[in-house]
Structure 1
Amino acid sequence: MQTQAQVRSANLAAVLGHLRDDGPRSRARLATDTGLTKATVSSLVGELVDRGLVAEGELHRPGSVGRPGTLVELDGRGVCGIGVEVNVDYLAVLVLDLAGAVRWQDRLAVDTAALPPAQVLARASAMIWQARTEHPAVGVTVAFPGGVQGSVVRTAPNLPRWVGVDVAAGLAGQRLPVTVANDADLSALAEWSAGPHAHVADLVYLTGEIGVGGGVVTGGRLLRGSTGLGGEIGHLALTPGDEPCGCGRRGCWETVVGLAALLRAAADPGDPLRDPGRDLEDRLAEVRARARAGDARTLAALADIGTGLGVGSAVLVSLFDPAVVVLGGYFAVVGEFLLDPLRAALAARVEDADRVVLSTLGFTAAVRGGAHVALQPVFSDPTTVPLMEAYA
């Protein structure tokens, strides 16, 4: 049996969740949405205001008769979540407030594979401290390109030195709750929560960088697998090929459609496109510029990537039957050159090839998803945020 405090916490969470999912509402509308009495909702809203989680906005006039109601909306000023991405060639940090607005972000080119994990985590920690100088955070979520159990890296084909590393322990100096998750899973959550196809019940997200990952949302829930290591689709033998993969095998999908495959096909060694120390977005901007200028080698490389994506995506569509397949990471950046060959290869194998779309979140998807996860404890139990008078 729930205690009175537990019931109060659940009701606060219900009101906060409706404001997050449905936008600003009057107290009367919140009472209708939650099934609570108007008096109860007024009391709950008052407490959420006192905790700095909601604010009263403009007057709402639903009709010409009766007094107008004041809209209640999320207040993003005092509570933020931090998303961190550790990737093969960069670190990224993003701060998201309670209302879903980006408050701060930064990305640093880092040759993660060549450095000791402790050194990389020290750099990430410095970025987090910089983010926290003006933005009060309630938690940190780290996106990692591999399989994670708890906060420990269990599989990392492109970052083998990280296997066995406890990422949360490396950031313990932050004195904040730290969660660690697969980057593609977090990207899928970002698309589901904030992308143009938000709250589509069945969605597949594909991210392309050095590796290729996938996140699957089915029935509105992230599919994690029996051990939490699902989504490593880049290492399935979905397309023919003999290129060695970071996992030690040959013929993995990411050896055909990953960023390394594109750069190998589009540029010779010594070309600035192949320089891992150069910012990834700069390199992809150059790929796009060459393609738009009609460079035959670049266009051919992109067409091959698109076809390979279509072949592999057909397997995923057949398995999960998603309403939408979202291409993220570098796939989205150069997507204008991938979609036609991808859809042609997909249409030859499954129905409705038009379900493939490009992410609008770009390389921020994983850190957005991480920041979103970092904020979830507040939405689950708003009483974890102290009353503002406690700071006085």
Structure 2
Amino acid sequence: MTLTEGSRPGRGVVAADHVSLRRNNLSVVLRHVREMGSRSRARIAADTGLNKATVSSLVAELVERGLLREGLAESERGALGRPGQLVELDGSAVCGVGAEINVDYLAVTALDLSGETVIERRVPLDVAHLDPSTTLDQLAKLILHAVAAVDVRGGQTAGVTLAVPGLVQSATGSLKLAPNLGWAEVPVVESMRERLGDPAYPLRVDNEANLAALAAYAEMQIGPEDKIQDLVLLTGAVGVGGGMVTGGHLLRGGHGFSGEVGHMPVAPAGGTCGCGRTGCWETVVGLTALLQKATEPDDPVRDPSLDVEQRLAEITRRAEAGEARTLKALAEVGEWLGIGGAILVNILNPDVLVLGGYFAVLGPWLKEPLESAIADRVIAPEGGGCRVVQSDLGFTAAVRGGAQISLDQVFLDPTLVGRAATGMAQ
């Protein structure tokens, strides 16, 4: 740090330390209210170990930034003793945006700091047969639409995170390889920044299964039961991806390329994968594999221009009606899902194996063979304690995870949000 002329040695360092300390304390209070719910200032002070005067000052600033708001008095909730004014999480004017590129659709979601959905859109698009430039043009329009929705409510966009199904280098903002898209060496963040007009908010890119796993992990933290710390999420569409959380942290691997479970070679005699190899797991459990088994080539549910949820709704209808070919296809896919799932449980021993994407939608037919395979193939007693659950997030998991990554930065550093939630830098 360069000292200003006439300043005493160490004075700037002390000032910087004070700023860092206050930033940290703002984060402590904001995260505490998020985790514990509405609290009086006195209760926050007691819980965090900060003194009451400091908490009052921190809460006032967080209210001014639009991150907390005044709630009910404790007496109105039946508390004993001298009533105190409760404060609760606000953040309605601070939003994170998640955007996703997948084989047959684009999607975008904006969430505010309390997790409420501001806008959510998904559009069918045959991305696999389009060049990256055309796809990114379309995605930029969706992102701009979401940011405009945040602006309309007088809000601030904390950041945009792009989810893509492939090998991603988040630090450089580049996509190394996405076999099912036919993309390689695409500077996603740089290209999107140009299309968005070099915005002030940060742009990030990450693997869609990683982001879906983060969303699933957050989903598991809601409720009174013990919090899950270790999970594997399997998300299925045309491709198959996996996201792993261990000890509450995303497992990325040494170079950030973990989670490509769809390319485990489980079926050597199987078909050719989009990656060019033979027998990858996704060739027997991906949505394309299911549709090939369950339908004729000219069946409308194979049309990628039809929204994926509409296609799955038709498969569900046929299964519920007892259509033999559909049920047979689901049984075969479920068996293969169990084979690969058991491998992952043997290696990682998660608390839960979460079914996302199309696996969750068709969970009533896929879950039983998966659980059976875990019971039969996992060496640890009782499947190593792993249970199989279906995510309720559907095809929104990746975009919700992306939006949450941007919002997490605000919880870590509340000063990223301008005072009075104006979105202006300090």
Q: Same fold (TM over 0.5)?
A: yes
Aligned to 1:317: 345
* Match runs of 1:330-349 below 5 Å: 330-349=358-377
Q: CA deviation at 1:243?
A: 0.5
The answer to whether 1:191 aligns with 2:216 is yes
* Match runs of 1:9-24 below 5 Å: 9-24=23-38
Distance in structure 2 (CA, Å) of the matches to 1:234 and 1:65 = 56
Aligned to 2:53: 39
For each residue in 1:299-333, what CA deviation from the matched residue of structure 2 results, as whole angstroms up to 9, or x when unmatched? Answer: 01111111111111111111111111100000000
Task: Count matched residues.
Answer: 391
The answer to whether 1:365 aligns with 2:397 is yes
Task: Give structure 2 stretches of 5+ with no counterpart.
Answer: 1-12, 151-155
* Match runs of 1:1-392 below 5 Å: 3-61=17-75, 65-135=80-150, 136-149=156-169, 150-160=172-182, 162-172=183-193, 173-174=195-196, 175=199, 176-195=201-220, 199-350=227-378, 351-352=381-382, 355-388=387-420
For each residue in 1:4-42, what CA deviation from the matched residue of structure 2 results, as whole angstroms up to 9, or x when unmatched? Answer: 000000000111111222222221221122111111111
Local SS of the residue matching 2:149 = coil
TM-score, normalised to structure 1, is: 0.96
Distance in structure 1 (CA, Å) of the matches to 2:218 and 2:123 = 26
Distance in structure 1 (CA, Å) of the matches to 2:126 and 2:145 = 21
Q: Percent identity?
A: 52
Distance in structure 2 (CA, Å) of the matches to 1:352 and 1:296 = 32
Query: Contact 2:98 / 2:163 at 8 angstroms: preserved in 1?
Result: yes
Change (3 A) 1:389 1:203: closer
Local SS of the residue matching 2:168 = strand
Distance in structure 1 (CA, Å) of the matches to 2:149 and 2:108 = 14
Local SS of the residue matching 2:72 = strand
Amino acid in structure 1 at the alignment position of 2:32: H
Distance in structure 2 (CA, Å) of the matches to 1:195 and 1:283 = 28
Taking only aligned residues, the RMSD between alpha carbons, in angstroms, comes to 1.8
Distance in structure 2 (CA, Å) of the matches to 1:196 and 1:255 = 33
Change (3 A) 1:270 1:122: same
Q: CA deviation at 1:72?
A: 1.2
Change (3 A) 1:238 1:197: farther
Amino acid in structure 1 at the alignment position of 2:130: L
Local SS of the residue matching 2:176 = strand
Amino acid in structure 1 at the alignment position of 2:420: M
Distance in structure 1 (CA, Å) of the matches to 2:222 and 2:271 = 35
Change (3 A) 1:164 1:219: same
Local SS of the residue matching 1:171 = helix
Distance in structure 2 (CA, Å) of the matches to 1:238 and 1:366 = 26
TM-score, normalised to structure 2, is: 0.88
Query: Contact 2:417 / 2:423 at 8 angstroms: preserved in 1?
Result: no
Query: Contact 1:143 / 1:180 at 8 angstroms: preserved in 2?
Result: yes
Distance in structure 2 (CA, Å) of the matches to 1:114 and 1:177 = 29
Q: CA deviation at 1:74?
A: 1.3
Query: Contact 2:174 / 2:186 at 8 angstroms: preserved in 1?
Result: yes
